[in-house]
């Protein structure tokens, strides 16, 4: 199958990480968009989940490096960015990211950005509450990035009509009112004086939450108003127009194994990391689009932050540190392990249809040599486990039971061998269409 031709004929693709994240989504999106660089018709990268916690590293052949957070990773190639209503938008860090892109030669990043009015805003209040809660958990930390993404979703669920949205940035009076209510809500809730604590440990978190460390609502609203004046705010039909008229790449954030409903609770993200948001957007748009669905994984398995990781190897973590992922104040260390194809099979199963795989970090796997092993089977109390069975959708008790299993299993290892793409294809029963053996655009290629 000529997958390059498939990509060209469909004029759209979706890149989803079928790991714990950090497999190189930005690098793959940069490469896909580079194939249209300089063409009369480029396109738009649509961000469909997550928020400012994303960290998609792109290294250009000329050495320029940017960590994409909210902008689409096709920016160096002239592609525009659209933040869909499924994104959680943080205007302050977005403006800083735009400034860095401009310093690297990207022309008018904010002018090439469109944002859905219905997208939720992540504010400094969310971040402050998030950090207070995570510190209060002590040794029971969830591995949060500390940027308020989960807090944004939790607040919206508890206060649907008061949750600030991007469209409110054009209405200062409404935005000030919503921000003030949010501040007061957190003060009351975290002090245990409101309707009740949202989580265990909120009373301890209340001692750490300082609303005076955040700009007041009027100050924030003024800055957000300037943001709204610089970007294009869009309504529900905008994505349909994009899909009908130009090339579109959907760029995911985090990984399927961290999905809010399919990941291993509670060590997850408050975000839908599968294709589900894309499918919803396609249905709503009515556009006749069928993106090439690309599932991305590393040639070895990694995890950043707390949570179960059966194939973790502390010696691999020590001997092969990651260039762009290190110890993070909130997430903790970046952990490396052997290639866990059982976990990746689970991720693909809960994702639904995936057309092809992209396999990254083959150069790093080659450096590991014979030390790199693979597993497609666990043992638990003398019993073999060769499949993680997906549970009922939204059943977090079931996901917690999977977490307990993964924390106690023993992987059954065998050598990964020299031909990792062939191993992955045999085991996961999907073609590896894209391989990556380095950080740069020049290190990617279609595999036939």
Tokens for 399? 């996901």
Answer with the residue of higher pLDDT: 374 or 154: 374
Name the domain boundary from 205, 232, 259. 232
Q: Which residues have a catalytic role annotated?
A: 22, 56
418 and 278, same structural domain?
A: yes
251 and 139, same structural domain?
A: no
CATH number reported for the structural domain that contains residue 201 in this entry: 1.10.300
Answer with the residue of higher pLDDT: 185 or 360: 360
pLDDT per residue over 378-425, tens digit each? 999 999 999 999 999 999 999 999 999 999 999 999 999 999 999 999
110 and 89, same structural domain?
A: yes
249 and 224, same structural domain?
A: no
pLDDT per residue over 211-229, tens digit each? 667 788 999 999 999 999 9
Q: For the whole model, what pTM was predicted? A: 0.91
Say what the pLDDT of residue 88 is. Answer: 95
- Residues 368 and 300: their CA atoms lie apart, in Å, by 10
CATH number reported for the structural domain that contains residue 94 in this entry: 3.40.440.10
257 and 205, same structural domain?
A: no
94 and 243, same structural domain?
A: yes
Say what the pLDDT of residue 441 is. Answer: 86
Say what the pLDDT of residue 321 is. Answer: 86
Provide the domain count of the chain: 2
Q: Which structural domain range is residue 255 located in?
A: 3-117+235-446
87 and 149, same structural domain?
A: no
219 and 157, same structural domain?
A: yes
- 188 pLDDT band, cuts 50/70/90, is confident
Name the domain boundary from 168, 203, 232. 232
Average pLDDT for the chain: 89
420 and 272, same structural domain?
A: yes
258 and 302, same structural domain?
A: yes
């Amino acid at each position: 199958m000529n997958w390059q031709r498939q990509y060209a004929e469909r004029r759209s693709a979706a890149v989803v990480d079928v790991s714990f994240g950090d497999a190189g989504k930005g690098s793959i999106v940069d490469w896909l968009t580079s194939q249209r660089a300089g063409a009369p018709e480029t396109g738009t990268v649509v961000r469909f989940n997550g928020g400012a916690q994303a960290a998609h590293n792109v290294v250009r052949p000329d050495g320029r490096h940017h960590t994409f957070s909210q902008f689409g990773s096709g920016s160096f190639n002239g592609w525009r960015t659209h933040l869909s209503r499924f994104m959680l938008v943080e205007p302050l860090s977005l403006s800083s990211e735009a400034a860095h892109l401009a310093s690297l030669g990207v022309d008018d990043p904010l002018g090439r950005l469109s944002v859905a009015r219905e997208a939720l805003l992540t504010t400094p209040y969310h971040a402050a509450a998030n950090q207070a809660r995570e510190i209060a958990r002590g040794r029971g930390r969830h591995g949060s990035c500390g940027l308020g993404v989960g807090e944004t979703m939790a607040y919206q669920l508890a206060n649907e009509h008061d949750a600030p949205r991007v469209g409110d940035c054009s209405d200062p009076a409404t935005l000030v009112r919503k921000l003030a209510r949010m501040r007061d809500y957190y003060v009351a809730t975290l002090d245990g004086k409101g309707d009740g604590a949202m989580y265990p440990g909120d009373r301890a978190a209340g001692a750490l939450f300082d609303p005076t460390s955040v700009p007041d609502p009027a100050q924030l609203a003024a800055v957000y108003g300037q943001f709204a004046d610089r970007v294009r705010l869009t309504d529900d039909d905008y994505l349909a127009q994009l899909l009908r008229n130009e090339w579109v790449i959907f760029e995911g954030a985090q990984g399927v194994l961290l999905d809010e409903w399919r990941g291993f609770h509670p060590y997850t993200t408050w975000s839908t990391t599968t294709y589900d948001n894309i499918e919803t957007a396609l249905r709503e748009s009515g556009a006749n689009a069928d993106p090439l669905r690309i599932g991305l994984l590393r040639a070895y398995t990694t995890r950043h932050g707390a949570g179960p990781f059966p194939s973790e190897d502390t010696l691999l973590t020590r001997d092969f540190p990651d260039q762009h992922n290190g110890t993070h104040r909130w997430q903790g260390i970046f952990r490396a392990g052997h290639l866990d194809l059982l976990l990746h099979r689970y991720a693909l199963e809960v994702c639904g249809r995936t057309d092809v795989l992209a396999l990254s970090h083959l150069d790093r796997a080659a450096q590991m040599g014979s030390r790199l092993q693979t597993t497609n089977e666990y043992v638990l109390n003398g019993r073999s486990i060769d499949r993680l069975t997906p549970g009922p959708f939204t059943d977090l008790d079931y996901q917690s039971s999977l977490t307990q299993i993964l924390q106690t299993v023993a992987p059954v290892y065998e050598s990964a061998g020299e031909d990792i793409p062939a191993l992955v294809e045999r085991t996961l029963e999907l073609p590896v269409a894209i391989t990556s053996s380095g950080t740069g655009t020049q290190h990617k290629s279609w595999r036939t």
